[in-house]
C-alpha cells in the first residue's frame, strides 16, 4: 500500500494556485470539451488520417477559443496566459486539435486583426471567431521553411489588381479553409494577402501518407495566377516582420500546448503503472519506474512554470520575442522526451492506439519542427547570448 495518497503530476507544485479563478474555470471548460468531444474519437481520427475540422471549428467557436486572445469582432479578449492554458488542454487531446486552433487564431486571424484593413476585419474575423469560416496561413514553401525570406511566391501588379503565383507547403487547415493569408514577394518587399479559397487559380491538395499529425488537415497551396483586387493586400506588415510576429503568437500556444501532450502521457503512464502487475507487485512500486516518473514530473513542472512566466510577461507587454524561443525549445524537447520515456514504461502496450502515448510522440515530432525547428531556436538564443548571428 502507498504511504501517501497519489498526486497528479502538476498538483505536486500547486500550479492551480498560480492562476486566477476565471482562467482556471476557462481551462476546466476546455478540458471538459476535450474529454467529451475529442478523447472518445481521436484515436480513430488519427488511425484514419482525418479530422472533422468544420464540425470541430463550429464547436470550438461556441466554446470561445478561436482567436480568444484577440479583442473585438466576437473574440473573447482573454489573457495570453488563459490562451496558453487552453492550448495545453487542447493538445492534451491531440496536437492536431491545438494546431487547428493555433492556425485559426494566432496565424490567420491575428494577421488580419493586426495588419488587415477595417473591411478585412469586419468581413472575416467575426465568422472566424464563431468557427463559421476557417483560415489558413501560407508562409512556408517546399524549399523555404527555416529561411522564409527566400520565398519564391510572387505577387505582381496588373493594373489595379494583384496576380499571385507560387506554392506553399505544410499548411494546416489548407484544404478546408475559406480564407488563406498568403505571404509573397512584391516589388515593395514581402506583403500579406487575403485570398478567398474559391478564387480561380487557387487550389489546396491535401497531403496524405503522414506518420505524424494524422488527425489534422495538412495541405499544399497552389497559386496559379490568382487574380486579386487591389484591396486584397494587408495594409500593414510590410517585410518579414509581419509573418514573424504571427509566428510568435502561435509559438506561445506551443509553449503551453506541448506540455499538455506531455501531461497526458504522464497521467496515462502513472495510471497504467499502478494497475500493471509485474514480479508480484505493481509496476509503479518498482524503483526504476519511480525514478522515471519523478524525472518526468520535474521537467513537466519546470516547463509549466516557464510557460506561465512567459505568459505573464506577454500579458504585461514586456515579453521579448527572443524569450519565446527559449520556451518553445524547452517545452517541445522535454515533451518529446517525456512521451518517449512513458512509452518505455508501457512496454508493448505503448505502441498501440489503446493508449495515447505513441500518438503524442508521433505528433510532437511535427511540433518539434514547425514554427521554428529546435536548431533555429537554439541559434536565436545563441545570438542573444553572443551578439553573433550564426544562421548562415
Q: List, by residue number, the catalytic residues.
A: 371
| Buried b or exposed e, range 203-229, using 16+ CB within 10 angstroms | ebeebeeeebbbbbbbbbbbbeebebe
DSSP letter string over 55-78? HHHHHHHHHT-TTTTSEETTEE--
Q: How many Å is the Cα radius of gyration of the chain?
A: 21
88: left (phi over 0), alpha (psi -120 to 50) or beta: alpha
DSSP letter string over 345-387? HHGGGGGSTTSSHHHHHHHHHHHHHTTS-HHHHHHHHHHHHHS
Q: Which three cell numbers stand for residue 11?
A: 498538483
For the chain, the first-to-last Cα distance in angstroms comes to: 58
Q: Would strands 179-186 and 135-138 be described as parallel, antiparallel, or unpaired? A: parallel
DSSP category for residue 277: E
Residues 6+ apart with CB under 8 A from 40: none
The residue with cell 498538483 is 11
Q: Nearest 5°: phi and psi at 158?
A: -140, 90
SS3 125: helix
Distance CA 137, CA 106 (A): 10
Amino acid at each position: 500500500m502507498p504511504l501517501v495518497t497519489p498526486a497528479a503530476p502538476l498538483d505536486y507544485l500547486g500550479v492551480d494556485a498560480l492562476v486566477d479563478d476565471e482562467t482556471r474555470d476557462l481551462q476546466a471548460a476546455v478540458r471538459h470539451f476535450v474529454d467529451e468531444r475529442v478523447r472518445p474519437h481521436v484515436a480513430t481520427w488519427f488511425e484514419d488520417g482525418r479530422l472533422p475540422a468544420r464540425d470541430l471549428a463550429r464547436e470550438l467557436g461556441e466554446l470561445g477559443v478561436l482567436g480568444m486572445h484577440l479583442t473585438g469582432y466576437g473574440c473573447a479578449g482573454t489573457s495570453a496566459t488563459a490562451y496558453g492554458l487552453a492550448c495545453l488542454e487542447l493538445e492534451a487531446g491531440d496536437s492536431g486539435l491545438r494546431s487547428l486552433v493555433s492556425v485559426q487564431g494566432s496565424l490567420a486571424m491575428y494577421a488580419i486583426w493586426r495588419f488587415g484593413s477595417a473591411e478585412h476585419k469586419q468581413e472575416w474575423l467575426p465568422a472566424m471567431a464563431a468557427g463559421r469560416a476557417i483560415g489558413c496561413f501560407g508562409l512556408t514553401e517546399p524549399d523555404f521553411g527555416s529561411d522564409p525570406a527566400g520565398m519564391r511566391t510572387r505577387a505582381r501588379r496588373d493594373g489595379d489588381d494583384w496576380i499571385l503565383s507560387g506554392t506553399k507547403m505544410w499548411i494546416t487547415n489548407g484544404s478546408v479553409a475559406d480564407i488563406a493569408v498568403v505571404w509573397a514577394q512584391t516589388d515593395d518587399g514581402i506583403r500579406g494577402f487575403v485570398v478567398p479559397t474559391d478564387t480561380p487559380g487557387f487550389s489546396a491538395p491535401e497531403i496524405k501518407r503522414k506518420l505524424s499529425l494524422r488527425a489534422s488537415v495538412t495541405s499544399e497551396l497552389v497559386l496559379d495566377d490568382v487574380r486579386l483586387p487591389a484591396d486584397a493586400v494587408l495594409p500593414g506588415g510590410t517585410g518579414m516582420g509581419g509573418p514573424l510576429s504571427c509566428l510568435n503568437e502561435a509559438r506561445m500556444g506551443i509553449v503551453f500546448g506541448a506540455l499538455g501532450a506531455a501531461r497526458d502521457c504522464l497521467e496515462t503512464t502513472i495510471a497504467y503503472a499502478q494497475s500493471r502487475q509485474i514480479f508480484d507487485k505493481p509496476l509503479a512500486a518498482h524503483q526504476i519506474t519511480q525514478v522515471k516518473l519523478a524525472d518526468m514530473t520535474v521537467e513537466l513542472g519546470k516547463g509549466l512554470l516557464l510557460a506561465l512566466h512567459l505568459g505573464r510577461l506577454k500579458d504585461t507587454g514586456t515579453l521579448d520575442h527572443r524569450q519565446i524561443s527559449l520556451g518553445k525549445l524547452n517545452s517541445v524537447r522535454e515533451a518529446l522526451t517525456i512521451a518517449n520515456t512513458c512509452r518505455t514504461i508501457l512496454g508493448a502496450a505503448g505502441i498501440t492506439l489503446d493508449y495515447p502515448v505513441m500518438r503524442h510522440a508521433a505528433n510532437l515530432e511535427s511540433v518539434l519542427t514547425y514554427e521554428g525547428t529546435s536548431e533555429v531556436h537554439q541559434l536565436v538564443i545563441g545570438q542573444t547570448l553572443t551578439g553573433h548571428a550564426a544562421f548562415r
